[in-house]
Amino acid sequence: MTTSSQFGRPGAFLCPLKDSTNVLLAPVLPEDSERIRVGLTRMSSISKYLRFFTATPQLTDEQLHYLANVDQVNHVAWCALDPATPGLDGLGLGRFVRLENEPQVAEFAIAVIDALQNRGLGTILLAMLCSKALERGIRTLRGLVLPENEFVATWLIELGAKLRHGPDVNQVDLPLVSAATRLDLITSPRTRATEAT
């Protein structure tokens, strides 16, 4: 397995997508704020709308700081980077934040640049989030999904999520024990990384 020291990213490892293209999975670091900003420009208007509920999100410096400065305990974030580029360009991001009033529940979100969509990266990031959440005593990942985002809603329901319809936004609660088992059958980032070497 490729070691994290090769890329200067603690805890990083290579993982193949469905087409065997390798991505580098790594915990988010403070210096990733610029990668997050640039990655947003590599998402189409429809992708931005489905993820952020607006087609033209403008992340402030304060928001970028929040997204890139995580404690990896109650606010966990992992990124997918392009190991073939000198600057390790950002390809996707998965994160969750534990709810203070429901410590066994965390709100999660995943974003993948358009060029990498439908190649399994979202599933890999979700599998990583499930693994990290279970390690931290979290039992449910909660997401907000627009009604028109049928692809993501169907995907999460197939993994065992319960969907609650809202007037503008639907809530999905993904129980992690059952989801982790299903995701493990589909893909386990570390297993795939091992198989790739």
- Span 9-68, pLDDT tens digits: 989 999 999 899 999 999 999 999 999 999 999 999 999 999 888 877 778 899 899 999
Number of neighbouring beta carbons within 10 Å of residue 174: 24
Give the integer Cα–Cα distance in Å for 179 and 64. 30
Q: What range defines the domain where residue 48 resides?
A: 4-195
154's tokens: 């169907």
| Tens of pLDDT, residues 116-170 | 999 999 999 999 999 999 999 999 999 999 999 999 999 999 999 999 999 899 9
Rounded Cα distance between 174 and 182, Å, is 12
Q: Return mean pLDDT, the chain.
A: 88
| pLDDT tens sequence across 38-50 | 999 999 999 999 9
Q: What is the pLDDT of residues 185-194, one digit of tens each?
A: 445 554 444 4
In whole angstroms, what is the distance from residue 194 CA to residue 95 CA? 23
- Residue 189 sits in a domain whose CATH number is 3.40.630.30
| Number of independent structural domains in the chain | 1
